[in-house]
Amino acid sequence: MDNKVKKIVAISSSPSKGRNSDTMLDHFISGMENYGKDLISVEKFYLDDIYLDHYDYGNRLGPTEKEVDFKNLALKMDKADGIVIATPTYNFSVPASLKNLVDRIRFIALDLDKKNVLGQPVGKFKRHRMFFLVSGGSPKLVQKILFFLFPPFWLRVVFMYYGSFKLNAFYSGDTKSFQNPKILKKCFKKGERFAKRVI
């Protein structure tokens, strides 16, 4: 542990503020702040409040002039010690806005001038610690059995490609997670543990 304040970027990708994954994220943040106190700084972003164009060849190398908020978010993600992403499950995947964000941050997440043994760009998120909070409508047992069909698996694979192997996730299949004290307490505790690992 050092005395440097660790920076955490928390991203809520749900278009429904105050509902399941968003509320799970708030309790996770509370847990981080409870453990970290003056040792961490958490900044939360609502993805739906940030303008960014869909990924295409023209914007593959970074934000356009009109994407001011996206540029700010990307730079903060690049400099962060930890990134927490909260998402609902939409048809076994994530909202389009989150998929778009993951595609668009390649300019900070990949070293396009270097190649690995497979000929792919080298990931630059090696120091980033990641956590994914996912809400859904399928029971947790189903999610565990068919884990490769759910967002926690996809998000892990993507950010491993981006270089991070410090990845954890929590899935809730309760359609009213935002009203479930047991789920929210678990999110709080996981936030505390995440802060401990980052610090």
Question: 1 pLDDT exceeds 60?
Answer: no
pLDDT per residue over 89-122, tens digit each? 999 899 999 999 999 999 999 998 999 888 899 9
- Domain assignment present for 1: no
- Domain assignment present for 18: yes
CATH of the domain at 15: 3.40.50.360
Which amino acid is it at 134? V
- Beta strand 110-115 pairing with 121-123: antiparallel
Total-model pTM: 0.95
Q: Cα–Cα distance between 56 and 49 in angstroms, integer?
A: 21
Q: How many domains does the chain have?
A: 1
Q: Cα–Cα distance between 50 and 45 in angstroms, integer?
A: 8
- Domain assignment present for 87: yes
Rounded alpha-carbon distances, angstroms, from residue 2 to 17, 38, 84: 35, 12, 21
Residue 185's domain comprises 6-198
